[in-house]
């Protein structure tokens, strides 16, 4: 009887050891496994109500699937999650909340670089705010050949791109689309394009 009981205990111990070993191996494999690429598509539509509360805050959940506030919150969250770098290349940037988010990232130690369309844009208050922090910014001096890109690279791993300028008009009153992705081959193409532009355009 004791022998039988001992055999059962030994068997249970062996099973437990094997199970633990498999768990440890699985955890080690997944620890080094590359996270699956993500793609998020944001579709903007003009707000029908001019007095909609969504215009005043990006934290309101109004229930509209294509709510401008909810969509833009995804962009804000991506910028807020930046740990190392943010490279922005947009035709126009005059959305106060997005400008403040960029400044906050820079203030907490994130390396920020900004390319905008031309020298006329630097007179808007949002760009003046960014300039006041000495955030590196470049723009084309030739106002007849527009830099018309709208993209941003966060930590060299996240890409934000689409039709939308980073303006209040675009976020609330236009039909726009924005794509946020971690697909490495696409992010790499935009990252290379930014670096080439940064080296080409003079300060």
The residues annotated as belonging to the active site are 148, 150, 155
Token digits for 59?
A: 């934290």
C-alpha–C-alpha distance, residues 52 and 46, integer Å: 11
Query: Which among 99, 92, 133 has a CA at the least distance from the CA of 116?
Result: 92
Alpha-carbon dihedral sign for residues 119, 122, 123, 124 = positive
Judging by DSSP bridges, how do beta strands 176-181 and 158-162 pair with one another? antiparallel
Q: 109-147 burial by CB neighbour count: b if 16+ within 10 A, else e?
A: ebebbbbbbbeebeebebbeebeeeebebbbbeeeeeeb
């Amino acid at each position: 009887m004791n022998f039988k009981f001992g055999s059962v205990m030994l068997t249970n111990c062996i099973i437990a050891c094997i199970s633990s070993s498999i768990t440890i191996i699985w955890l080690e494999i997944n620890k080094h496994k590359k996270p699956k690429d993500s793609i998020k598509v944001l579709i903007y539509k003009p707000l029908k109500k001019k007095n909609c509360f969504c215009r005043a805050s990006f934290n309101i959940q109004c229930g509209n699937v294509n709510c401008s506030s909810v969509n833009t919150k995804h962009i804000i969250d991506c910028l807020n999650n930046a740990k190392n770098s943010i490279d922005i290349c947009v035709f126009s940037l005059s959305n106060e909340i997005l400008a403040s988010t960029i400044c906050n990232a820079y203030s907490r130690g994130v390396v920020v670089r900004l390319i905008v369309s031309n020298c006329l844009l630097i007179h808007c208050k949002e760009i003046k705010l960014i300039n006041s922090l000495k955030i590196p910014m470049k723009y084309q001096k030739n106002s007849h050949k527009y830099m018309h890109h709208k993209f941003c690279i966060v930590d060299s791993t996240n890409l934000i791109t689409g039709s939308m300028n980073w303006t209040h008009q675009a976020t609330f009153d236009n039909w726009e689309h924005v794509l946020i992705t971690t697909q490495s081959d696409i992010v790499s193409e935009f990252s290379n394009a930014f670096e080439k532009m940064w080296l080409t355009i003079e300060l």
